[in-house]
């Protein structure tokens, strides 16, 4: 096992393959999402025990609204259940945040997310980010708007806009860039996940596993692979 000091500070996971997992079993796609949600719980708790500092899960993208209505509803239902059970994470000293445009969700969901975020804000264990109605481009647009407002109000000059300032205006502007992105299910793409923060990320794509079959051993394999990479950030 990779020693604590060599772990990536921030890991992102694209939880993909729920639909194919269900199809293989002749089950409706929503059963794949249900199984995937269970695995999400297990991996989040394992990662916290393992000493990861920041973990971001891609739960629902800005593009996923294109799916059939009943599938979208099933995913939102799972999200509601999850929000009701989130106490167990708070007890584990996990700090929970939601990344994305949350304004589209019903008021009770937004309220609950706000409460969870606030109640866990002082926790000193792992920071668990849930990317929901999240798109990397959408996030950058939001940051651009916030900066434009400041320019309009006369508090900021355009020439003072730096990379750091853009980064600070992202949804979790105080967190480190993502170091490692893991995607199971054999798709080799980002699908609009953390596009700003992944400029120098390492990628581990896994062909042999769909998200509902993902285990702590798969996470360990990805951490081991990450440890072997030579990160140069443009230097030598």
Structure-block tokens of residue 13: 């996971």
Residue 18 among the catalytic residues: no
Under the binding rule (CB under 6 A), the answer on residue 18 touching ligand IPE is yes
**In this chain, which of 41, 80, 145, 189 binds ligand IPE, going by CB under 6 A?**
189
Distance of CA 44 to the CA centre of its chain: 11
Other C-beta atoms lying within 10 Å of the C-beta of residue 140: 15
Of the candidate residues 8, 15, 16, 170, the single one contacting Mg ion (CB under 5 A): 16
Number of residues that bind Mg ion (CB under 5 A): 1
What DSSP string runs through 76-93?
A: HHHHHHHHHTTHHHHHTT
- Tell me the C-alpha to C-alpha distance, in Å, between residue 200 and each of 104, 135, 177, 185, 236: 31, 18, 8, 22, 14
64 is a catalytic site residue: yes
Tell me whether residue 2 or residue 209 sits nearer to ligand IPE (CB atom). Answer: 209
* Contact residue for ligand IPE among 52, 55, 75, 223 (CB under 6 A): 75
Should residue 181 be labelled a site residue for ligand IPE when binding is judged by CB under 6 A?
no
CA torsion sign for 189, 194, 200, 204 is: negative
For Mg ion, the nearest residue by Cβ is 16
Binds 111, which of ligand IPE, Mg ion, none (CB < 5 to 8 A, cut-off by type)?
none
Site of interaction with ligand IPE (CB under 6 A) = 14-20, 58-61, 64, 75, 185, 187, 189, 191
């Amino acid at each position: 096992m990779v020693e604590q000091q060599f772990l990536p500070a921030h890991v992102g996971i694209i939880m993909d393959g729920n639909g194919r997992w269900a199809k293989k079993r002749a089950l409706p796609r929503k059963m794949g999402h249900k199984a995937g949600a269970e695995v999400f719980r297990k991996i989040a708790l394992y990662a916290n025990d393992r000493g990861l500092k920041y973990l971001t899960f891609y739960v629902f993208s800005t593009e996923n609204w294109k799916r059939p209505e009943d599938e979208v509803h099933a995913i939102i239902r799972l999200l509601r259940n999850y929000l009701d059970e989130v106490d167990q994470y708070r007890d584990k000293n996990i700090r929970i945040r939601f990344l994305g445009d949350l304004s589209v969700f019903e008021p009770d969901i937004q309220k609950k997310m706000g409460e969870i975020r606030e109640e866990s804000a002082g926790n000193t264990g792992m920071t668990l980010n849930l990317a929901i109605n999240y798109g990397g481009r959408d996030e950058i647009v939001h940051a651009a708007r916030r900066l434009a407002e400041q320019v309009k109000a006369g508090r900021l000059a355009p020439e003072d806009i730096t990379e750091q300032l853009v980064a600070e205006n992202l949804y979790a502007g105080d967190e480190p860039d993502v170091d490692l992105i893991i995607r199971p299910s054999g798709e080799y793409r980002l699908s609009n996940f953390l596009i700003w923060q992944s400029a120098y990320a390492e990628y581990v794509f896994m062909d042999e596993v769909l998200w509902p079959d993902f285990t702590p051993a798969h996470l360990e394999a990805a951490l081991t692979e990450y440890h072997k990479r030579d990160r140069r950030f443009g230097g030598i």
